[in-house]
Each structure stands twice: as C-alpha cells, then as structure tokens.
Amino acid sequence: MVSKKPRIVIIGAGMAGLTAANKLHTASSTKELFELLVVEGGTRIGGRINTSEFCGDRIELGATWIHGIGGSPVYKIAQEISSLESEQPWECMDGNLEEPLTIAEGGYDLNPSFVESISSLFKNLMDLAQGKVINEDCEIVARLKQAAAKSAGDLSVGSFLQQGLDAYWSLTKDEKLAVNGFGNWSGKSLQEAIFAMHEYTQRTYTSADNLHSLDYNAESEYKMFPGEEITIAKGYLSVIQSLVSVLPAGLIQLGRKVVKIEWQLETKKNGEITNGWPVKLHFSDGSTMYADHVIVTVSLGVLKQGIQHDSGLFSPPLPSFKTGAISRLGYGVVDKLFLQLSNSDDDQEINGCNTKFPFLQMVFHQTDSNLRHPKIPWWIRRTASISPIYSNSRVLLSWFAGKEALQLESLNDEDILNGVSTTVSNLLSHNLCNSAGIPQPKFDKVLRTKWGTDPLFLGSYSYVAVGSSGDDLDTLAEPLPKTGTTCSDSLSSSSPLQILFAGEATHRTHYSTTHGAYFSGLREANRLLKHYNCIVV
Ligand SMILES: Cc1cc2nc3c(=O)[nH]c(=O)nc-3n(C[C@H](O)[C@H](O)[C@H](O)COP(=O)(O)OP(=O)(O)OC[C@H]3O[C@@H](n4cnc5c(N)ncnc54)[C@H](O)[C@@H]3O)c2cc1C
Ligand SMILES: *[C@@H]1O[C@H](CO)[C@@H](O)[C@H](O)[C@H]1NC(C)=O
Ligand SMILES: CC(=O)N[C@H]1CO[C@H](CO)[C@@H](O)[C@@H]1O
C-alpha cells in the first residue's frame, strides 16, 4: 500500500470533470502524487458544451452565454486564451441589441409601449422574486410580500407571477384595457399573452417545464455575476480545450461509459476490499477498473435514472439522504432550434420590403382555444421568440423547453419546417410585405439539439423544484461514505472519499451554469488535495 499512488478516476469530460482534472494535475504534477484518469461515455469532450457550425456560422448546441462577466472564471479563461474575438461570425456576436418586433397571433403588430408596460411588470416581478431591490412602497409589492409571507415556503415562481399579474389588473382601470383593431384579441387577453411570452423565456432560463414547479424561495439564493452577458467568439469549446491542453495524452479515455460503481458502504477490514481498492467501476463493454476515489460528474438526469431500481448505477445503492435530494431537485429539458433562411431570388428589396428577418417575439392566444389558429402546432406555442443569431445572419434560432422541447426532439425535419413556416406566416401574414415590411420567409435547413433524449445527459440543467431547496444541492455535493470533516476523522476510515460529486447540480448558488460546473470541479479537486496533504505531511 505504501508504494501505490492513489488512483483518482473522474467520470465525465464536461466542464466539471475537466476542471477537476486540470486542478489535480497542475497541483500535483511535480509531486506525481496521483494516478489520474478521466473516463467519458461519449465520443467527444465538453459534455453540455458543444460548439458546432451551421451554414457557415459558428453556433453553440449547448452552453451559449457567459452569464455575467464580472468574476466569472469562464470569462477569465476565455480572455486569457483570446477567445473573445474572431474573424468568423458567431452566435449573438452583437448581443441582443436589436429592438424586438412583437406580433400577436393573426398578424397584429403590437405597439412597443403597450408591450413594454407588461414586459416591465414581468421584469419587476422577477427582480422582486430574485431579491433585487425594487421600489418598496408600491401597492403590488406590498400585496405580493404579504402573499409570499403566508405561503409557508411552498410558493412557486409560477403562482407568484400569477398573483403579480392579478394584482396589476386589479389596480388597472378598465378603460386602459380597451384595444381596437386587433381582431379577436381583447386588451386583457393581449396582456395575458405577452406576460405568458415572458414566462416562456423564463422556462428556457430555468429549464422548468412549468413555472408552478419552480421554487420561489430558491430564486433569491441563485447568484448572477455582474456585468454584461456575452457569448464566446471562438466557441465555448475553446475554454474546454484550454483546460485540457495541460493534460498528458491518454489521461482522458473516450467511449468509456460507466454502468456500475461498486463502493464500500462501511469501512471494512482491508481484506474485504477488492485487491485493496475501495471502488470498482464497470463499463458498458464489460471491462472494469479499480480506483481509490471517483469524482462523479454525470448530470442530475443521469443520476435520477441511476437511482432507479432497474438501473442501479451505484452498488450498494446510494444512502437515502442522497437519493432524496436527487429525487426532489428539478432537472428539465431545454433545446435549441436552428433554421436556415432560403436565399431566394426575391430576397432583394421588393416592393420596399426590408428583407431582414427581425428579432420576432411571438404572442399566442392563451386560454381560449377557439381563437387559436388550428395549423400552428402546440409545440411552438410556448416558445417566446425566433430571431437571427446576429444581425443579418441567414440562421435563425429559437429556444424550446419542457414538453415542447421533447416533442421537437421527436419530430422529423419536415414537420419542424412546416410547423415553423405556418407559424411565422401567420404572424407575418399581411401579405408578401407585411405592415412591418418583412417578406414571407422560406426555410431550407434545420438543426435541433436532443439533450432530453441523449442517454448521456437526459436533459439540460437543474433547478430547485417546489419541495426541494438549496440544502438539497449541498447534499448532492457531499462525498461518500459519510465521515467527519476533520483530518483525523477521515483518517479513521480506511477508505474515505470513495465517491465525490461534482457537476452543475452540486453548486448551491451557481447551479445550471458552466461556471457552477467549474467551481464544483475545483471544489472536489481541492477536497482530495486537502485530504492528501493531511496524510503526506
Ligand atoms: C441547451 C443548453 C444551453 C445552455 N446554456 C448555458 C448558458 O448559456 N450558460 C451557461 O453557463 N450554461 C448553460 N448551459 C448549462 C451548461 O452547459 C452546464 O451547466 C454545464 O456544461 C454542465 O457541466 P457538467 O460538467 O456539470 O456536466 P456535463 O457537461 O453533462 O458533463 C458530464 C459528462 O459525463 C458524461 N457521462 C454521462 N454519463 C456517463 C457515464 N455513465 N459514464 C461516463 N460518462 C458519462 C457525459 O457524456 C458528459 O460529457 C446550457 C446547457 C444546455 C443543454
Ligand atoms: C455535438 O456536435 C456535433 C456536431 O458538431 C454533433 O454531431 C453531436 O451530435 C453533438 N452532440 C450533442 C450531444 O449535441
Ligand atoms: C372564434 C372567433 O370568435 N372568431 C372571430 C374572430 O373575429 C372575426 C372578426 O374579426 C370573426 O369573424 C370570427 O368569428
């Protein structure tokens, strides 16, 4: 045992796993302290980061934005490797600067100031939920604070928002709701639908299919970095490649899907541990590998499936404090849909039409299904917008969440093209050149992600569901077997820190993001370094 170097196996070559590998390697390479390996089930590195190309434009199939550059470790790396500039155009290179054009079902252009009144209501409500300071002595705020206080901790973001809208209406004079020339739309139904449009965007931010299952209290615990939100010019994958560049060849093994993790629930006599190794990994090809420590970075979706009886990723099964947290936390599906606009001849300015496709916000009829256009498919009705990935790009992008995203994954390209064409035609229905000056677009290529059905992800990112809390995120991060926290405590177990957990879903305040995954990888690498410092010294 004295001569054997501790073997650390990291499961998953995404942001969390590669950050841990980078830290463990760079912190220990001179001392050659560990035998280090990363095993990845897929055939590429990056996990939920997957930079790609579509019709000549650089796009992101997974992580897209640096959510606030102030203090972001991802931003710092991207800056150091000069990834924030590129000759080739990239997704959202110009941010979301363009004024949106908001059009209601049936083809009604909405006045920006009408839209703005509801948009700012929504924004203020979310700011309030997130604990940002807003005008305290306003009637709606007072009412909402009262309602939140009465909710006994199981309030959802969805019902909070509904209460906010109801309070707004109850304080709005009826005359203000009168609209003319909007077909079957009433002022109130338009406001409701604009509000819903913002809820749909919120679904893609959080991955919660239904905002009524998104916990209200957790909203204010979630942290955002200050500063602007930007995309990475050379692609998100360049950050991953930078982490990997210092690792020796062969340290990362691709195509190595772990199907079972055998570990020792209790400290056993040395003889009972296989060959002196506490952990044994089983791979899908039947091969096995021993380890002293494994860092599990698979997604919360993979963990949820892994604790089902018929799957049994862990043997013995995880203790109930772990499975409870895994079950309670939310994990949803968000997908991106890219479409290429046809380069038709009538693309040039015709009849004074502007050929530029707008940043189009879509407002659909809500409750009254009689008013809905029968050919607009249900799976697009909870999508907020469709827009070029940068000004003048021929590539359009829409974000989908929840059931609609799963439906999108199951459709064939033609059904998607038809569905989107019908919808966009309806919205831009005022003839070839509608009142907003946009010609009817045609599409000829489509690309959508399939994060929900991909067995290595089974979804997109985690959220705090009603019934769970930030404590569950912390619980997810606890290593196994459970031991004390001091040096001597962990030494009293002959095989401590067998299974460590990293990944986006294990970070209490930055879950769901790449930097949350980064911090979690660093945390677990440091846990092991600290552990061995206490033995070595
Ligand atoms: C569509 C989409 C958009 C997003 N947008 C943003 C954004 O704008 N900004 C942001 O900060 N974040 C965004 N995210 C979230 C971000 O991508 C993730 O939080 C982060 O990349 C997760 O990293 P991770 O290392 O925790 O997990 P992963 O990247 O999932 O890494 C886990 C790895 O484990 C592997 N694996 C799974 N099962 C096994 C197994 N049994 N055996 C071996 N290997 C296995 C997987 O293949 C994967 O490579 C987005 C995600 C998606 C899907
Ligand atoms: C990652 O991108 C490549 C194309 O660049 C694609 O073939 C692959 O399916 C993508 N993987 C995921 C999980 O999206
Ligand atoms: C379902 C419904 O009420 N449709 C009405 C919408 O408005 C037009 C007139 O603008 C009526 O003709 C439809 O009957």
> From the CB of 39, is ligand 1 less than 6 Å away?
yes
Distance from the CA of 371 to the center of ligand 3, in angstroms?
8
Tell me the DSSP string of 460-480: SEEE-BBTB-HHHHHHHH--B
Distance from the CA of 86 to the center of ligand 1, in angstroms?
25
Distance from the CA of 522 to the center of ligand 2, in angstroms?
26
Residue type, 156: S
Q: Among 410, 406, 404, which Cα is nearest to 423's?
A: 404
Residue recorded with tokens 């449009």: 197
For residue 248, the 8-state DSSP code is P
Question: Any idea which ligand is nearest the CA of 58?
Answer: 2
Question: Any idea which ligand is nearest the CA of 365?
Answer: 3
What span, in angstroms and rounded, lies between the C-alpha atoms of 380 and 415?
12
pLDDT of residue 46: 98
Burial of 302 (0-12, 13-18, 19+ CB in 10 A): buried
> From the CB of 189, is ligand 1 less than 6 Å away?
no
Q: Among 515, 6, 7, 20, which Cα is nearest to 297's?
A: 20
> From the CB of 336, is ligand 1 less than 6 Å away?
yes
Cβ atoms of residues 276 and 1 within 8 Å: yes
Tell me the DSSP string of 347-403: GS--TT---PPP-EEEE---S-GGGS-TTS-GGGTT--EEEESSTT-SEEEEEEEHH
Residues of the chain with pLDDT under 50: 1, 271, 346-348, 431-432, 490, 536-537
> 7-47+243-332+455-531 falls under which CATH superfamily?
FAD/NAD(P)-binding domain (3.50.50.60)
Return the ligand 1 atom nearest residue 65 CA: 8
Cβ atoms of residues 422 and 377 within 8 Å: yes
Q: Point out which residues pair with 11 in neighbouring strands.
A: 39, 296
Nearest-CA residue for ligand 2 atom 7 is: 52
Distance from the CA of 49 to the center of ligand 2, in angstroms?
9
Burial of 223 (0-12, 13-18, 19+ CB in 10 A): middle
Nearest-CA residue for ligand 1 atom 14 is: 63
Alpha carbon 447 to its chain centroid, in Å, reads 19
pLDDT of residue 147: 78
Alpha carbon separation from 349 to 73, 431, 432, 493 (Å, rounded): 45, 15, 12, 75
In 169-246, the DSSP E strands lie at 230-231
Cβ atoms of residues 355 and 349 within 8 Å: yes
Return the ligand 1 atom nearest residue 520 CA: 26
Q: How many residues in total does the chain contain? A: 537
Distance from the CA of 184 to the center of ligand 3, in angstroms?
6
* Best residue for ligand 2 mutational test, from 45, 50, 338 (most atoms within 8 Å of Cβ): 50
Pairing of strands 258-262, 252-253: unpaired
- Where in the chain are the domains? 7-47+243-332+455-531, 112-220
Instruction: Encode pLDDT of 249-304 as tens digits.
Output: 999 999 999 999 999 986 555 545 567 899 999 999 999 999 999 999 999 999 99
> From the CB of 510, is ligand 1 less than 6 Å away?
no
Q: Among 232, 298, 294, 235, which Cα is nearest to 47's?
A: 298
Alpha carbon separation from 326 to 85, 150, 452 (Å, rounded): 39, 28, 17
pLDDT of residue 128: 92
pLDDT of residue 142: 82
Cβ atoms of residues 427 and 360 within 8 Å: yes
Nearest-CA residue for ligand 1 atom 11 is: 513
What span, in angstroms and rounded, lies between the C-alpha atoms of 522 and 477?
12
Question: Any idea which ligand is nearest the CA of 336?
Answer: 1
Residues lining ligand 2, CB < 6 A? 50, 52, 61, 449, 454
Distance from the CA of 50 to the center of ligand 2, in angstroms?
6
Whether pTM > 0.75 for this model: the answer is: yes
Alpha carbon separation from 406 to 86, 379, 494 (Å, rounded): 33, 9, 46
Q: Among 263, 288, 122, which Cα is nearest to 200's?
A: 122
Q: Among 468, 450, 467, which Cα is nearest to 459's?
A: 450
Distance from the CA of 100 to the center of ligand 1, in angstroms?
30
Distance from the CA of 108 to the center of ligand 3, in angstroms?
14
Tokens linked to 374: 């029968």
Q: Point out which residues pair with 258 in neighbouring strands.
A: 283
Cβ atoms of residues 520 and 346 within 8 Å: no
Question: Any idea which ligand is nearest the CA of 369?
Answer: 3
Return the ligand 3 atom nearest residue 183 CA: 10
What span, in angstroms and rounded, lies between the C-alpha atoms of 175 and 188?
11
> From the CB of 16, is ligand 1 less than 6 Å away?
yes
Tell me the DSSP string of 463-530: E-BBTB-HHHHHHHH--BS---SSHHHHHHSSS---EEE-SGGG-TTTTTSHHHHHHHHHHHHHHHHH
Question: Any idea which ligand is nearest the CA of 63?
Answer: 1
- Neighbour count for residue 62 (Cβ, 10 Å): 23
Residue recorded with tokens 């005008």: 135
Radius of gyration of the chain (CA): 25
